[in-house]
Structure 1
């Protein structure tokens, strides 16, 4: 279960939900900004590509404010 604040304004270093425009799918990652470069960092340490460059092909959906399991 993931709760997302759709109206959040501050995202740097936080976990976010991003919609990939190319295939209209959403992903849950950490947003990293280094100078003019933006990256998504995988939450799964076993994910093959840990830093994914953002090249304008996505839309920020919102900031993750809670993650947990449903009972």
Structure 2
């Protein structure tokens, strides 16, 4: 069962936690100098960022040296 994230949820990101297949990560897209929250997919040695929004225009973004994994989500919670 995959976690579901809602607007307003808090996420805690550990920059030292290992980013492995299936992890939810924060990545910095170097070309755009922006951060994004996605799921890390590793298949056949290739890494991808998978959009959590199923209607996102680019559901799978290949990582080809154009981004830096900032850290892995280690906790989610609701704000009060």
Give the structure-1-normalised TM-score: 0.87
Q: Does 1:56 align with 2:71?
A: no
Aligned to 1:68: 77
SS of 1:11's partner is: coil
Q: Which 5+ residue runs of structure 2 have no aligned equivalent?
A: 1-9
Select which of 13, 16, 27 maps to 1:7.
16
Question: Which structure 1 residue ranges, 5 or more long, are not aligned?
Answer: none
Structure 1 runs (4+) deviating above 6 angstroms are none
1:10 shift after superposition: 4.0
Q: Deviations over 1:24-47 (max 9, x none)?
A: 111000001111211110011111
Q: What TM-score do you get using the length of structure 2 for normalisation?
A: 0.79
